[in-house]
A and B are shown apart, each in its own frame.
Chain A
Amino acid sequence: MFENVWLIPLFPLIGFLINGFFGKKIKNEAVIGGIGTLMIFLSFLVSCGVLMQLIGLPAEQRVFEKVVFPWIHCGNFKADMAFLIDPLSAVMIMVVTGVGSLIHLYSIGYMHGEEGFYRFFAYLNLFCMSMLLLVLGSNMLVMFIGWEGVGLCSYLLIGYYFEKKSAGDAAKKAFVMNRVGDFGFLIGLFTLYWWFGSNHNIWTINFVEIKAASHLLPYGGVVTIATLCFFLGATGKSAQLPLYTWLPDAMEGPTPVSALIHAATMVTAGVYMIGRMSFVFIKSPETMMVVAVVGACTAIFAATIGTAQNDIKRVLAYSTVSQLGFMFLAMGVGAFGAGIFHLMTHAFFKACLFLGSGSVIHAMHHALHHGHLHDDAQDMRNMGGLKKYMPITFLTFLVSTIAIAGIPGFSGFFSKDEILWQAFANPYHGGLNIVLWGIGCIAAMFTAFYMFRLVFMTFFGECRINPKVKDHLHESPLVITIPLMVLGFLAVVGGYIGMPKLMGMLPNYFEHWLDPVFELANEYGKEYAHVGHHTHALEWGLMGLSVVIAVIGITIAFTMYMANNKLPEKFTSTFPALHRAVYNKWYMDELYDFLFVNPCKGFGNLLWKGFDVVVVDGIVNGVGKIFMGLSAGIRGLQTGYTHNYALGMTLGAVVIVALYIFR
C-alpha cells in the first residue's frame, strides 16, 4: 500500500476533473454526488490500507517516503513531489478521508436542487486533494501546495453563493488573511533552509532530513525567528489571534463546507504543521510560550463571543476558534500527542455539530419556505422545541454537545482533560503553566455554557417558529442523518483509544501510536525543563475539577435558558455595554477595518493618484512639454500624423547614431 500512497490524493483529483469539466453535462445529481463521494471514499479505503500496513510494522520503522516525481531541482535547492507516511500523517489522512466521505455523502442530500451542484462537488473534491497533499507532503513545499490549495478551495466554497456580496466579502477576507499567514510560512521556510545550508551545508526542506539534522539547531535564536514565522502561518490558517476574524464570516458558505473545511480539516492544518515540526518548535522555549499563550487567549476570547451570538452557525464557528485555541495550547505546552488527539475528537464532534446545525437549518428553511416567510432560518431565536420534530438530529447533536462540553465517558472529555492536565503539569513555562491551565479551565466552562445554551435554545422549550409553518418541520432524509449517526457514534467512542493511563482500563493507544513522531521533541524539551513528579491524587483531583467546571457551565445555561427565561434579558439590561461588546465580537472587525483595511485602500489611491500620476508622470510630461515647446518652433513638420512623429524620432535616432560613429 505504501507504494500506492499517491492514489490517496489522486482519487479526489479525478473526481474534481470529472465533475468540474463534465458535471454541467451530466446534470444528474445522483451521478455527480456519487462520483464525488465515491472518489473520496476510495481514498479512505487506500488510507485504511496504509494504516493497516503501518500498524503491522514495528514502531521504529513506521516512516516511509514515496517520491512520486522530481519537482524543483535547481542548484542546491531540491524539492520533490514526495509523500511521507508516518503515524501522524496516517491519523490525518484517516480523519480527512473518513470525515470527508461522510460529509460528501451528507452534501448529496443537503445540496439537493442547488443550481451549482456539480460545482460544489468539484470544489469539495479539489479541497480534499489539497488537504491530503498538505498532510502527506514530505517536504515543506509540497505541504505549501496543499496549504495554499486549501486556501483557494476555501475561498471558492465560502463564496459558493457568489452573487451574494456578503459571501464574496467573507471569501475574500478568508483568502487574504490566510495569505498573510502564508507569508510567515515562506519566511520561516527560508530561514530554516538558509540556516542549515550556510552553517552545516545541509540544503534541505525535507521533514525527515530536517529531523535527522535537528540536533544541530540551537535553542532559541534563529529557531525562535523561524518558528515564530511558521506560527504566523498557523494562526492564519487555524484562525488564531490575531488572524481569526475570517472564520466566523466563513459561515457564509454552505454548511457542509463549514463542517469539513472550517471545523474538521483545513483549520487544523496549523496544529498539524506544528506537530509535524515539533522537533523544531520545541527548540525555542520562547515560541512555545507564544504558541501556548496565543492558544489559551484565543480559547477564552472566542468562547466569550460565542456566548452572545444568536446565529446557530456563528456560535459553532466561535466554538471552533476556541477549540483550536485548546489545540494550540496543547502544542505550546509540549503536549503534542494530546493536541493531535483533540484535533481528531474535535473533528468528530464538531463535524457532527455543524452537520446537525445544517440539518436544522435545512428543516427550518424548508418549513419557512413553505409558508413564504422570510425569517432567518439560522437564528436560534426563531427555533426552539425542535427535538420533537427532529429526533435523530437532536440526539446526535446532544451527544456531540456533551462530548465538547467535557462530560466523562465522551470523547471530548478525554482529549480536553489531557490538554488541561498537561498544561498544568508540563514544566516548560514555569509559573505560567498554572495560569494557562486556569485560562483553559475557564474557557472550558464557557464552552459548556454556550454549547448548552445553543442546545436549549434550539431543541428545548417552546417552538418559536411561526405557528403557520410548524407542521412543515420534519426530520431530514437518511442521506443526511446517516452521517450524523456515524459521527455521533464516533463522538462518543472516539476518545477511548486515547484514555488516560490513570484510569487504567485501557492503555493510551493514541499516545503510544504517536510516540515515534514526538519522541525526539520530548527529548529536546528535557534539555531545558525537567519533568516534575505529580501524584495520581493530584491528577484525579484536577480531572474532577474539570468535570465540576463543565457541570457548572451547563447549570448556568440551564438556569438562564430553561428554568428562568427572563434571566438573559435581565443580564443584558444590567450590563448593556458588556453585552453589546460581546455581541459585536469585541469590535474586532471594526478595529481591523480602521487599522488595516481602510488605510490600505486609501494608501493605494494616494500612491497612484498622488505620487504616480502627479510626481513621476508630472516630471515625464514636463520633459515632454519641453520637447513639444521646442518642436512648436518647427511647426511645419508637425502634421499631426503618427507616422510623421515616429519618422522624425527614428531619423533623429539614426542621426545621433551616425554622429557618434562617424565623427
Chain B
Amino acid sequence: MGYDMTGFPFLTILIFLPLATGLCLLPVWNCRPDLWRPVALAGAIAELGVACLCWPAAAAPAKGAPAGFFLFEDYPWIAEFGIRYTLGMDGLSLLLVILTAFVTLIAMLASWRPVIDRVPLHYLLILAMESGIMGVFLSLDLFLFYLFWELMLIPMFFLIGIWGHGRRIYSAIKFFLFTLAGSLLMLLAIITLYLIHGSQTGVYTFSLYGLIGTVVPHSTALWLYGAFLLAFAIKFPLFPLHTWLPDAHTDAPTAGSVILAGLLLKTGAYGLVRFGYPLFPAAAATLSPLLMVMAVTGILYASWIAFAQSDMKRLVAYSSVGHMGFVALGIAAWTPVALSGAILQMVNHGITTSAMFAMIGMLDERTGTREIDAYGNVWGKAPRLSFFFLFFAMASAGLPGLNNFVGEFLILTGSFKVSHLAVALAGIGVILPLVYTVRLIQELLFQEERRPLIIPDLTVTECGMVVVMACLDLYIGLHPGPLLDMLHSPVAILTGGAG
C-alpha cells in the first residue's frame, strides 16, 4: 500500500498499547469514575485500529524475517541466555491479532452495564489480558512466548475469582492449576530443547526459527512434543482435559466468558500450529493419530453432553469443546485445506461463540438466571434479541452461508484424504450441534413462558454490537476469500505444500 511501514514498531505497540491504556486508568482510579469506561474503551478501539492497519502490510515481506512474515522486530534482550525480543506477524498472526482486538472490544462492551464493582480494576485486567494474548500471537522467541503465555492467565484468574458467580473460587483455581500444570511441562520441554540445541551447535538460543531443525532423537522428541501437546491440549481444550472449561465458563463474568471462549482457547491451537508442529515435525506426525482421536472423541462427547445441560452458559461451553475439536481435527490432518479451515474456524468460533456468550450475558443481566427452564417465549417479549440469538445459534450449528460452516467444511474436506473414518465420525458431529442448539432455542425463544420474566429488548448499543458481529458472520460465510488469501502463504509454508 501507499505508506512505508518498515521500522515502525507496530508489533510492540500492539502488545503494549492495551497495558499502557490500563496504566492510564491509575491516575483516575479513585477520583474520576466517569473516565474509567471511556479511557478503557478508547484504548481498545485504538488497538483494533492499529491491528487493522497491519492488514495492508501483508503485501510485502519484511526484511530479514523468516519466510511469510511481513512485520518483524528483533532485538537482543538477555544476551547471556540467548533470549531475544523477537516479534513477527504473518497472515496467521494477523487474523488472530485482529480477532483479539475485536473480541476484547466486545468483552468490554458486554461488561459495560453488569460490572459496577471495582470497575477500573476490571478494565485494567481485561487490557492486561489483551496485552498478554497479543504477545502470545506475536512472539517468535520461545522464552518470550512462555512469558506472555503465563501473563495472560493471571488476569483471567482474577476476573473469574472476583466478578464470577457460583463456585467462582473453585473454578478460578481449577482453571489456573489446570493450565499451569500443562505450561510448566512445556517450559521444561522448552529448556530441554534449548539445551539440546546449544550442546549440539554451541549456539544457545530461544529463537523459534533458530530452534527449528534441531536434530532431536525421535524418542526424546516424542517426550518434548508430548509436553507441548499437553499444554496446548489443556488450553484447547481437548478431551479428556476439558473439565476446567465448563466450570470456568459457568462461573466467569460475561467479559471473562467472551475472552475465554473467543481468545484463550485459540492460543492452544495457535501454539500447536506455530510451535508444536514446526519444532517437532516427525513427532507431531507420529502423534497426529492421537490428536485426531482426541479431536473426534471430543467433538462427539462434548456435543452429546451439551444436550444434557440446563445452564445456557454450560451448554455453550460444551459446544465450544466440540467446535474446538474440529479445529484440532484440521490441525491433525495437516493438509493445506484442512489447516486453512482450522485457522479460519478459530476466527469463526471466536466471533460466533463470543456473540453467544455476550447474548447469554444480556439475558442473565435482564433476568438474573441462566437456567433454560426458566425462560420460554422470549421471542414474544424481545423479538430483536431473539432474532440475533437464533442467528448466532444457527451460525454456531454450522448453517451454510454463515461463517462456521466454511471452516468446518474446509476442515472436513481437507481431512477426508487423511482419514475417512475420522471425517465420517466428525460428520456426525455436524448433526449433534443442531440437536442441542434447536433444543436451546426451542425452550428459550419459543414455547410458553415458564416464569414471568421481564425481558426488555436490545438497547441501541447492544443492537449495534450484535449487528456488527452478525455482519461479520455473514461476511465470512459468504465471502471468506480475503481471509483465506491471507492464510494462503503461511499455510503453504507450514505444510510445505504447494496447493
Residue positions of A touching B, CB distance < 8 A? 24, 69-77, 81, 141, 144-145, 147-149, 152, 155, 159, 162-163, 165, 168, 171-172, 175-176, 179-180, 182-183, 186-187, 190-191, 193-194, 197-198, 600-601, 603-605, 607-609, 612, 616-617, 620, 623-624, 627, 642-643, 645-646, 649-650, 653, 656-657, 660-661
Nearest to A180 among chain B residues (CB) is B431
Please give, as numbers and ranges, the residues of chain B lying within 8 Å of A646 by CB-CB distance.
154, 157-158, 161, 172, 176
- Which B465-494 residues have a C-beta within 8 angstroms of A? 478-481, 484
Chain A residues with CB below 8 A from B423, complex form? 187, 190
Does B100 lie at the interface of the complex (its beta carbon under 8 Å from any beta carbon of A)? no
Closest CB in chain B relative to A176 CB, distance in Å: 6
Chain B residue numbers with a CB within 8 Å of A197 are: 417
- Collect the chain B residues with CB atoms within 8 Å of residue A657's CB: 187
Bound: A148/B434 CA distance, A: 11
Q: A81-B478, A660-B191 are in contact. Are A74 and B337 (CB under 8 A)?
A: yes
B residues less than 8 Å from A608 (CB atoms): 305, 308-309
B53 at interface by CB-CB < 8 Å: no
Provide the bound-state CA to CA distance between A176 and B178, in Å: 36
| A198 in contact with B434 (CB, 8 Å) | no
Report the Cα distance A603→B400, complex, angstroms.
29
Select one of B169, B434, B478 contacting A176, CB under 8 A. B434
Q: Are A642 and B158 in contact (CB under 8 A)?
A: yes
CB pair B399–A72 under 8 Å, yes or no, is no
For B244, give the chain A residue with the smallest CB separation: A620
Residue of A nearest to B301 (CB): A607
Chain B residues whose CB sits within 8 angstroms of the CB of A650 once the complex forms = 154
Pick the contact of B377: A163, A190, A194, A643 (CB < 8 A).
A163
A183 partner residues in chain B, CB cutoff 8 A:
427-428, 430-431
Inter-chain contact A604/B305, CB cutoff 8 Å: yes
Q: What are the residues of chain B within 8 A of A72 when measuring CB–CB?
A: 406, 409-410, 480-481, 484
Q: How far is the CB of A249 from chain B (nearest CB, A)?
A: 14
B481 contact set on A, CB distance < 8 A: 70-73
- Can you list 9 residue pairs at the A/B interface with Cβ under 8 Å? A74-B484, A77-B413, A159-B446, A171-B442, A176-B438, A624-B177, A642-B169, A645-B169, A656-B184
Say whether A605 contacts B479, CB under 8 Å. no
Known contacts A71-B478, A601-B308, A660-B191, A624 near B173 by CB under 8 Å: yes
Chain A residues contacting B191 (CB-CB under 8 Å) are 660-661
Judged by a CB distance under 8 angstroms, whether B6 is at the interface is no
Closest partner residue, chain A, to B303 (CB atom): A604
Q: Does B162 contact A (CB under 8 A)?
A: yes
CA distance A630 to B311 in the complex (A): 34
For A205, the closest partner residue in chain B by CB is B413
B182 sits at the interface (CB 8 A): no
A81 / chain B contacts, CB cutoff of 8 Å: 478
In Å, the complex CA distance between A61 and B490 comes to: 43
- The answer to whether B176 touches A649, judged by C-beta atoms less than 8 angstroms apart, is yes
Alpha-carbon distance A74/B411, docked complex (angstroms): 11
**Distance (whole angstroms) from the CB of B161 to the closest CB of chain A:** 4
Q: Which of A144, A163, A190 contacts B448 (CB 8 A)?
A: A163
Q: How far is the CA of A600 from the CA of B308 in the complex (A)?
A: 10
Interface string of B340-379 (1 = CB under 8 A from A): 1100000000000000000000000000000000000101
Minimum Cβ distance to chain A for residue B429 (Å): 9
Contact with A along B388-409 (1 / 0, CB 8 A): 0000001000011100001001
A70: B residues at CB distance < 8 A:
481
B281 on the interface (CB 8 Å rule)? no
Cβ-defined contact, A186 with B427, below 8 A:
yes
Tell me whether B435 and A165 are in contact (CB under 8 A): no
B417 touches A168 (CB 8 A): no
Q: Would A607 and B308 be within 8 Å (CB), given that A81-B478, A180-B431 are in contact? A: yes
B176 touches A194 (CB 8 A): no
Q: Which residues of A contact B431 (CB under 8 A)?
A: 176, 179-180, 182-183
**8 Å CB contact of B243 from A73, A141, A180, A616:** A616
Beyond A168-B442, A600-B435, 6 additional contacts (C-beta under 8 Å) are: A81-B478, A182-B431, A607-B305, A607-B308, A627-B177, A642-B161
Q: How far is the CB of A129 from chain B (nearest CB, A)?
A: 10
* Complex Cα–Cα for A152 and B395 (A): 12
Q: Closest approach, in angstroms, between the C-beta of B438 and any C-beta of chain A? A: 5
Q: For residue B165, which residues in chain A have a CB less than 8 angstroms away from its CB?
A: none
- Closest A-chain residue to B172, C-beta based? A642
A144 contact from B380, B394, B400, Cβ within 8 A: B400
Residue B439 lies at the interface, judged by CB distance under 8 Å to chain A: yes
Nearest to B377 among chain A residues (CB) is A163
Q: Is the CB of A604 within 8 A of B308?
A: yes
Q: B308 to chain A: which residues have CB within 8 Å?
A: 601, 604-605, 607-609
Known A-B contacts A145-B400, A176-B435; A73 and B484 likewise in contact (beta carbons under 8 Å) = yes
Q: Mask for B131-155, Cβ within 8 A of A = 1, else 0?
A: 0000000000000000000100010
* Nearest 8 pairs of A and B residues by beta carbon: A162-B446, A604-B308, A642-B161, A145-B400, A604-B307, A75-B336, A608-B305, A190-B416
B424 at the A interface (CB under 8 A) = yes
A660 and B341 within 8 A (CB): no
Closest to B417 in A: A194
Residue of A nearest to B147 (CB): A657
Cα separation A109 to B239 with both chains bound (whole Å): 55
Contacts of B430-469 to chain A: CB distance below 8 A: 430-431, 434-435, 438-439, 442, 445-448
B304 CB within 8 Å of chain A: yes
Within 8 Å by CB of A198, from B336, B399, B417, B428, lies B417
Query: In whole angstroms, what is the CA distance A608 to B246 when docked?
Result: 11
Which residues of chain A are near B416, meaning CB under 8 Å?
190-191, 193-194
Least distance between A637 CB and chain B CB atoms (Å): 14
Q: Which residues of A contact B380 (CB under 8 A)?
A: 163
Chain A nearest CB: distance from B422 CB in Å? 11
Min Cβ gap A340→B in Å is 25
Q: Which residue of B lies closest to A190 (CB)?
A: B416
- Chain B: minimal CB distance from A391 (Å): 39
- Our pick among A162, A186, A645 for the contact of B430 (Cβ within 8 Å) is A186
Tell me the minimal C-beta distance from B435 to chain A in angstroms: 6
Q: Hey, which chain B residues are within 8 Å of A187, CB to CB?
A: 423-424, 427
Cβ distance A638 to chain B, nearest Cβ, rounded Å: 12
A556 to chain B: closest CB distance in Å? Answer: 42
Within 8 Å by CB of A175, from B158, B438, B478, B484, lies B438
Smallest Cβ distance from B327 to chain A, in angstroms?
15
A176 to B439, CA, bound (A): 10
Q: Which of A175, A190, A656 contacts B412 (CB 8 A)?
A: A190
Instruction: Say if the beta carbon of B499 comes within 8 Å of chain A.
Output: yes
Please tell me if B383 contacts chain A, counting CB pairs below 8 Å. yes
* Cα of A629 to Cα of B484 in the assembled complex, Å: 51
Contact of B178 among A73, A601, A620 (CB under 8 A): A620
Q: How far is the CA of A620 from the CA of B150 in the complex (A)?
A: 21
User: Which residues does chain B contribute within 8 Å of A620, judged by CB atoms?
Assistant: 174, 178, 243-244
Q: Which residue of A lies closest to B169 (CB)?
A: A642
